[in-house]
A and B are shown apart, each in its own frame.
Chain A
Amino acid sequence: MQKVCVTGMSCVCAAGTSCDAVWKSLVEGSIKRTSSLVLHDDALPYPFFAAPEEAFISGRRHSSADVLHLGLFAAQDALKQSKITEQIQQHMGIIIGTTAGSALHFLQGYAASRVQSDNASRGSTAPHQTIDIIDYHKSNLALSIANHLGGLGPVSTITNACTSGADAIGLAADMIRNGQCELILCGGADALSLVPHTGFARLMVYSDEPCRPFDADRRGLNLGEGAGMLVLESEAHAKARGAHILGYIAGYGSAVDAHHFTAPHPEARGLAKSVTQALAEASIPLENLAFINVHGTATMENDKVEGAYCYGAFPKTPVWASKGVTGHTLGAAGALEAIFCLMALQHRLVPRSHGFINPDPAIMLKPTQEHTVITSEYALSTSLGFGGGNAALVLKAVKNIAEEL
């Protein structure tokens, strides 16, 4: 089987606008939450982890274009790092996940349309043009990035809710192994507007305090914004062009719970299946797993199911919950966290899990409470999604850490 390697990666989120800046924040535990009033004067009072303003290429537009601009910001940086030629870039595939980016969230445009329809019924036909609905039709994530950056290969915008980013990476790796494309830009991006922010708040899963993954006193998630992009190619292709390899996608697994529309399976059926698939594909024994970056949203249900599964299946493996620094970035989360795993493998260090204080006796799992040095070269990243989806990725460091030590 062809090895799939990473030759470019970039991330942007509340923790920073580059991999180096984000890593520094993850290690230091810098928490930068922003008032929801940035989104709208009527937004419910739940702060979120906003992406830095400089990452919005043309300023925050409160539309799908915000998702696209975060995606482009990270994509351009990742492609620059991969140092691919213009000719290769013209043939790349683009597989990107999002949640808000493809959803019908054009509230301003719809409100104006309602007014216009009312006016039309009274004989007035003054047309209106609102930015958000025009942006919606011009900002489909994968198609639009292909339009901006080139890319003649396969193009798919994955909308698997919170597993979108991880699935985009796993599917892109499969495509390369299958020989469907030689090089793929993949990852995930999401930005917030009033509609998704309100939706999550009304689902009663949103905490107005900083989120506390796996903590006994956790009160829910904090939403976040961001984008994580990776350039994947076969190892043979990368070596042939003399590319610098940053890490490997060693395994991927994906399975749906088919249990409940919104709640995860109580015994983590789909998660266990996807993790088993990913580890089998990577062909590694459990003791070679340096750490797990968990989904860890800090909602009651996710953490109960995921925490109990990880504690039972991997009792000795360090577990890192990183959303205390980034918030839950929805469709970007799986991609950002895959990059966090690769950075942790590069630095041979798993940061402490910010937000966690008191263990939950119903879960038993204690995520990392201090920075932990790692001595093996594999990491597992898990994602669980609305609708019962689960995805698992096994990331591998470039060098054999144990041998070097």
Chain B
Amino acid sequence: MLSTSHPFVTSCGVVGLGLVHNLGDITNLYTAHEQNLSPAVQGPLPKTDVSKLSEFLPKAPMRRIPHYARMGLLAASQALKSLPDDVSREDVGLVIGSAYAGAKMSMDFMDSILDGSPRLSSPTAFSHAVNNMGAGLLSLYLGLRGPCHTISQDSLSFAGGLEIAITMLLAKRARYVLLGAIEETDSRLLNTDKNVFQHKNLDDGEGAVFFLLTKRNNTTISLQWNKAEIFSDSLEENGIYKNIYGFTPLAQAFDTAMQFFMLSEGQKAKNTCCQSVYGRQATITLQA
């Protein structure tokens, strides 16, 4: 594929990882890869289990917040375990990359218009459907008071988020940044896409991945933007391990998490490259 690269490569250090998926955590995901499991193509996946969130946060308020944010809270809490004790959460920024944000609430809000009328539509669903709902709830429940950003650009949401996280660290706006990607599945959204695009490969894939980043650390993550020629108008299929997690805008975040885990196990990491339908590519490299 013909491509041109942006001359600047940005990078920072990786300190910690949190991952939530139908299969469990990063160890379960890696084991599934080793065993060549392919649950995503075996039919609808069960909703991701977030019961371990009670290890980090009180149960009662969590019941009131959407599944999307609960997945994010669990993965972010896991990653925050790597935050040094002497660092205040005031000094931690937050960046979330999410293509669809609160998909269920968005579809609920549209249902409330279609089933009733604008006059009877649900204000609660609307407020939880705003793209930065996840960032707002995570900052609130995790006590993060630094800069807080949400990036929404299809499969390149995680890469866009990484660029912003590195920007914040280089500009000294935060000592640490929680960079995450969250997506939730919703059968109504999936059916809408399938009905329009007649696309056969739209499998469910949901979960959350969070990295705790700082300016420098033993493991570095770097990002380079490229532009490729667009050869077709179809939806791109990205992801090294998509047999495990399916077709999802989370692909690059899951791939990067797998590379981080493999590096920590003493294995060699691969580059993760993701391309959007617009022809833009982002290559993420992890190095020990």
Contacts and interface: CB of A to CB of B under 8 A. Distances in A.
On whether the two chains bind one another, the answer is yes
B41 interface: no
A157 interface: yes
Interface string A180-208: 11000000000000110011111110000
Interface string A105-143: 111011111101100000000011110011001101011
Interface string A253-286: 0111111111000000110010001000000000
Interface string B222-241: 00011100000001000000
B277 interface: yes
A310 B118 CA distance: 36
Q: Nearest 7 pairs between A and B by C-beta?
A: A387-B136, A199-B126, A159-B131, A102-B152, A104-B106, A254-B147, A256-B148
12 contacts: A44-B119, A104-B129, A110-B107, A143-B276, A146-B278, A146-B280, A158-B151, A159-B131, A178-B171, A202-B118, A257-B139, A258-B139
Interface stretch (B17-25, B32-40, B71-79, B190-198): B190-198
Interface stretch (B44-52, B156-164, B250-258, B259-267): B156-164
Given A110-B114, A146-B280, A261-B136, A202 B149 contact: no
Given A110-B107, A198-B118, A202-B123, A153 B195 contact: no
Contacts of B170: 174, 178, 180
Nearest to A174: B171
Nearest to A132: B196
Contact of A147 (B8, B119, B280): B280
B178 interface: no
B109 interface: yes
A117 B123 contact: no
Given A154-B163, A202-B126, A103 B106 contact: yes
Nearest to B148: A256
Contacts of B164: 156, 158, 171
Contacts of A104: 100-101, 103, 106-107, 110, 129, 189
B136 to A, nearest CB: 3
Q: Could you tell me the dominant secondary structure of chain A's interface residues?
A: mixed
Contact of B130 (A110, A112, A174, A387): A387
B154 to A, nearest CB: 6
A6 B16 CA distance: 38
Nearest to B279: A147
Nearest to B160: A156
B151 A258 contact: no
Given A160-B132, A194-B113, A201-B118, A153 B139 contact: no
A385 interface: yes
B89 to A, nearest CB: 9
Given A103-B129, A254-B147, A195 B8 contact: no
Contacts, number: 242
Bin the interface of chain B by size: 35 or more
A342 interface: no
B133 interface: yes
Nearest to B227: A152
Given A44-B118, A104-B100, A152-B4, 9 more contacts: A104-B107, A110-B192, A113-B196, A137-B197, A143-B278, A157-B160, A171-B149, A201-B118, A202-B121
Nearest to A269: B145
B150 interface: yes
A348 interface: no
B167 A157 contact: no
B144 interface: yes
Nearest to A134: B196
A155 B280 CA distance: 9
Contacts of B109: 195, 199
Given A134-B196, A199-B121, A180 B148 contact: no
A127 B194 CA distance: 10
A364 B126 CA distance: 33
A59 interface: no
Contacts of B285: none
Contacts of B137: 261, 387
A113 B119 CA distance: 22
A315 interface: no
Contact of A117 (B101, B195, B227): B195
A262 B195 CA distance: 35
